Chain A
Amino acid sequence: MACTHALASGMGGMRTAGDLVGRMQMTRGMRLKQAKTYVAEKLGCAVADLADPIAMHDVRRDLGLGRIPVQELTYPTHAGAMEAKFHIAEVLDVPINSVARFQERAGLRPGGAV
């Protein structure tokens, strides 16, 4: 059922920019059109590119937003997981709770606990 919905109507998650648009919906309460427009502007791409895995593969690489590791392409030298979320917070200009906690607990913030 999950895969069927994803193919029938989903943006594509991390294959595309679905997770980025989703983040603006979940944490900023943006409606779909507003969220897509916001993300496209921040990424410097067209709204139509947001659900295009080919276009977004390059955009995600260039901006360090994380990509899906596959057998042939594991991207060990690129940003992944928490590293990518640091970039997402910066590129989308939104606070990400886990990034803020990481900075605080790793002592990366002035006054943060080590």
Chain B
Amino acid sequence: MTPAEIREDVLAGSELGARRSKAPPLTGAEVDHLVDIFASEAKFSAVDMGDEVCLSFDGSGNLDVGSRIDELYSYQSHRGADMLELFAIDYSYKAIKTMLSYEAAQMKTAQLNVIAPLQYGAMPDLGRYSMPDGPVPNWSELMPLGRIAEARDAQVEAIDHAVSDMVYVADGMWEAGADGMDFDTAAAAGDGDFLATLTAIEKIKGRYPDIGIELGMASEYVLGMHGELTYKGRRLAGMWPKEQLEVAQEAGATMFGPAVNVNTTKSVAWNVARACTIIKPCMDVAEIPVHPNVGMGVGGVPMSPYPPADAVSRVSRAMVDILKCDGL
């Protein structure tokens, strides 16, 4: 791409993000800076010295090699992780509940071996509570039949189950020595999923005031699968990152991770400009650290198992330079 084409993409991405989320577009200086970053022919790009941020590394305790604790140790010692996360491959609190004893034992052993702060993470995953996987009527089947009231009732019932499971797992992890809990890809199943997460956070923070709680979102926009659910009087459906952050703070989260999914038909520059525009309003109201998601396919990082370093480093730098965020 030529610098002119990159500028065109940055402007188009920002304009679309601004129009959809009703946020201001990037300023002229911000557009110029993104163009400088993406038009550079350097293989790698990085923030200025002194501007480094904390990397929270959701999903750092995976099973690429050895045991999960080996992986945590590797992230701590060799990959520069500022925070760590233990998780199981079935990344859902509903699944974790059934093997909490085993997972909590892993957490205890991990805590004896690592120094960096270590949280436990999984998805709220409200959809798992619907039939045939769960006990509640399937709202996705009820809605096309026009049985809207039943679909809504099913979601409300599922919320109770999900809250109960998230609190149950947090109880076990806190007893095992966890520094925090991560509720990752919150609102993946819409506003009911988000309400369950906020309710669980409030309960957990009430029980354990010193616990860290990261709330990471599934996407930029909360889908109204129910449509009428509220948290402390605010309608959840249709919330963009700024509003998501505000309710996360109110619930008691200590870290917030906005997520903006990539459009794989567009350039990295286009996606980063759009993501920065959508997330930027968060930074003015943030009372807790904001760590935008920049894993595969979010925040502008290409949808690839091995995203190129030239692209990822530009995403990393752009997020920090433009948003002045607290971490990634």
Chain A residues with a Cβ under 8 A of chain B: 1-15, 18-19, 21-23, 25-32, 35, 47-48, 51, 65-66, 68-69, 80-82, 84-85, 88, 95-98, 101-102
Contact = CB atoms under 8 A, between A and B. Distances in A.
B191 interface: no
| Main secondary structure on A side of the interface with B | helix
Contact of B328 (A5, A69, A102): A5
Contacts, number: 197
A114 to B, nearest CB: 17
Contact of B111 (A8, A35, A47, A98): A98
B210 A5 contact: no
B25 to A, nearest CB: 24
B327 interface: yes
Given A1-B312, A6-B55, A31-B286, A19 B60 contact: no
A56 to B, nearest CB: 12
B75 interface: yes
Contact of A25 (B111, B312, B316, B326): B326
A2 B115 contact: no
Given A10-B82, A31-B289, 15 more contacts: A2-B81, A8-B317, A9-B52, A9-B317, A11-B53, A11-B82, A14-B76, A19-B81, A19-B83, A22-B55, A27-B117, A29-B255, A29-B287, A96-B179, A98-B178
B24 interface: no
Nearest to B77: A68
A13 B177 CA distance: 20
A31 B326 CA distance: 6
